[in-house]
Structure 1
Amino acid sequence: MQIYVFGSLAFDRIMTFPGRFSDHILPDKIHILNVCFVGNGLEERFGGTAGNIAYSLSLLGEKPVIVSTAGHRDFGRYGERFAGYGLRLDGVRLVDEALTASCHITTDLADNQITCFNPGAMGYPCGYDFADADPAQDIAIVAPGNHEDTIALPRRFREMGMRYIFDPGQNITALPGEKLLEAITGSWALISNDYELEMILRATDLSLEQLLTRTGSIITTLGDKGSIIREQNRVTEIPAASVTRVADPTGAGDAFRSGLLKGLAMGRELPEAAKIGACCATWCVAQTGTQEHVFTEDEFWEHYRKNFGPTA
């Protein structure tokens, strides 16, 4: 079974400000704000929803097709790294007119953040044709990325008869309610955290029960409280896996999706696949950054057995 991962590819550029933003912002001059913060160092990390999901899948022994867009001028280092993991990049459209999406984050000593996001190449649709896909066997995930593709790809998958998981995430506020509902309708599953689920319900003006008639299942992640899987005839609560260290929760949701997709690729039922996702998330939170965790497959499955017992 081939896994297709649609979403963003981005560089995360992170700085720390050795002070507090509030000490340098004058409330009575907020209407003419003009402030420069000098940060300590600059860290650059690889990110983006498609990149994060594909990365953890590669650690789990999968070679998904990344479907995304990136800048021709600056994607080289990112592409070389992923090629080293054996990941397929033929689904990545390289755009000459723009740089790869980037997120610039500065955090002060009070954990306040100022973030500037440049969508860059993410503003262009991927243009991938899925000519090699086997709709009867393959599965796709539509994670946050180009807005046009977020609507167009679910349509394409429905026409092909291919299973897809819809993961609107940060795109929820950018999509009209009717477009959001269109993409959800016919999906094999809808995945979000509990806050995002509430946003979806408000945007579509549907109850949870009504939304469940539009998709095969609703997967809701709850952070350290685990996740809930709602299907037509059952509700399953999945506990979180144990963690030895929490350094940074950023990217844990994408890692969960990687484990979930790995379980589905193994032919596991959705609840067991979600347990695999829960284990994968723990590796991510133990490191700072969304693609900094490393594990072998043996280490991963030993961690799974300690939390949930032997796999089926």
Structure 2
Amino acid sequence: MRIAVTGSIATDHLMVFPGRFADQLLPEQLAHVSLSFLVDRLEVRRGGVAANIAFGLGGFGMSPLLVGAVGTDFAEYAVWLKEHGVDTAGVRVSAERQTARFLCITDDDANQIAAFYAGAMTEAYDIDLRALFTGTERPGLVLISPDDPSAMLRHTAECRELVVPFAADPSQQLARLDGGQVRDLVSGATWLFTNEYEAALLRERTGWSRDEVLAAVGTWVTTLGEKGVQVERAGAPPLVVPAVPGTETADPTGVGDAFRAGFLAAVSHRAPLESAARLGCALASVALGAVGSQSYDSDLAQLAGIVERTYGPGAAGPLASVLGELS
């Protein structure tokens, strides 16, 4: 099954602060915060949620279609993505704005403070999925990941119009969306992706209970950090899959994107939900050990080994269709 990934494409500026943010925050002064963090390291990396997920899918040989808006400074990045199995035919190049920028500081507790400059991403609304999805190029699933909010709403509506299954991953944009917009983005989604905090924020924004969210989507996948992932469906008990233990943290940026790539690669090959979550956790552990969202190698033998060591002998068997004979 071919997957189209819509959303942000950006350059990441990743910094490391040798301390704890919490130690710098004075409770009695939170209304007047004025802080500057002296960082030890700066890494400039390729990023953006949609590009990160497409990169991960490309590592499984899936030729995902990347859909997003960039600036004229994207040429070198485009070559990189193509070399890693990503189809960039759905990328719009702005003549006026630069590619989006993500600036992030990570402390010793892996907490992050970030800012995002949208740049060319504000033109993502002008991308018409109906013009892209023609003939044999029609995808089996569209992932709507964080993007310009108007683009997210437009592309979700186009998926419904085209009767193309879609996955909702509102993520960071939940802070910018109102309740009606969030309900519109997730209703009817085959898959809904959140992390633990976003799950609570989504319920607050929509005014829905957990059961009402599950009634609106097919499957709700919530990443839980070091606790793993929870997969929920209406009428079924939650499935909790533990994370890969003992993973060294080099950089948490893009780890959730790697999980989504591994999970979607598995379900696109009709792997069971538990196995898909295990592959997602395995790829996330590899991404966690690399600095930058697209700095890891999708070594299928390595992933099969991680799954077997973490979840037991034979655990990679149901993933044979995505990992090949290596499992």
What is the match of residue 46 of structure 1? Answer: 46
In structure 2, C-alpha distance between the alignment counterparts of 1:187 and 1:9, rounded to whole Å: 22
What is the match of residue 311 of structure 1? Answer: 317
Give deviations 1:33-75, integer Å, cap 9, x for gaps.
Answer: 7x98776664210111011111111222221000111012x11
User: Is 2:110–2:252's contact at 8 Å kept on the other side of the alignment?
Assistant: no
What is the match of residue 10 of structure 2? Answer: 10
Query: What is the Cα deviation at residue 77 of structure 1?
Result: 1.7
In structure 1, C-alpha distance between the alignment counterparts of 2:110 and 2:76, rounded to whole Å: 30
SS at match of 1:256: helix
Q: Identify if the C-alpha distance between structure 1 residues 54 and 160 changes in structure 2 by more than 3 Å, giving closer, same or farther.
A: same
SS at match of 1:203: helix
Give deviations 1:74-95, integer Å, cap 9, x for gaps.
Answer: 1112111112123111111000
Give deviations 1:71-128, integer Å, cap 9, x for gaps.
Answer: 12x1112111112123111111000110000123456889886644211011112514
User: Is 2:279–2:303's contact at 8 Å kept on the other side of the alignment?
Assistant: no
Query: What is the Cα deviation at residue 142 of structure 1?
Result: 0.8
SS at match of 1:89: strand
1:101-180 matched pairs, under 5 angstroms = 101-106=100-105, 115-126=114-125, 127-129=127-129, 130-132=132-134, 138-180=140-182
Query: What is the Cα deviation at residue 267 of structure 1?
Result: 1.5
SS at match of 2:317: coil
How many residues of Structure 1 are paired with residues of Structure 2 in the alignment?
Answer: 307
User: What TM-score does the superposition give when structure 2 sets the normalisation length?
Assistant: 0.84
* RMSD of Structure 2 on Structure 1 (CA): 2.9
Tell me whether 300-309 or 157-166 shows the greater mean CA deviation. Answer: 300-309
Tell me whether 43-52 or 299-308 shows the greater mean CA deviation. Answer: 299-308
1:216-227 matched pairs, under 5 angstroms = 216-227=218-229
Matched, 1:57 2:60: no
What is the match of residue 279 of structure 1? Answer: 282
Name the structure with the higher helix share. Answer: 2
Select which of 234, 237, 243 maps to 2:236. Answer: 234
What is the match of residue 193 of structure 2? Answer: 191
Q: Identify if the C-alpha distance between structure 1 residues 270 and 59 changes in structure 2 by more than 3 Å, giving closer, same or farther.
A: same
Q: Identify if the C-alpha distance between structure 1 residues 288 and 186 changes in structure 2 by more than 3 Å, giving closer, same or farther.
A: same
What is the match of residue 76 of structure 1? Answer: 75
In structure 1, C-alpha distance between the alignment counterparts of 2:269 and 2:205, rounded to whole Å: 34
User: Is 1:14–1:104's contact at 8 Å kept on the other side of the alignment?
Assistant: yes
Amino acid in structure 2 at the alignment position of 1:185: S
What is the match of residue 209 of structure 2? Answer: 207
SS at match of 2:92: strand
User: What TM-score does the superposition give when structure 1 sets the normalisation length?
Assistant: 0.87
Amino acid in structure 2 at the alignment position of 1:56: G
In structure 2, C-alpha distance between the alignment counterparts of 1:77 and 1:44, rounded to whole Å: 14
Q: Identify if the C-alpha distance between structure 1 residues 302 and 111 changes in structure 2 by more than 3 Å, giving closer, same or farther.
A: closer
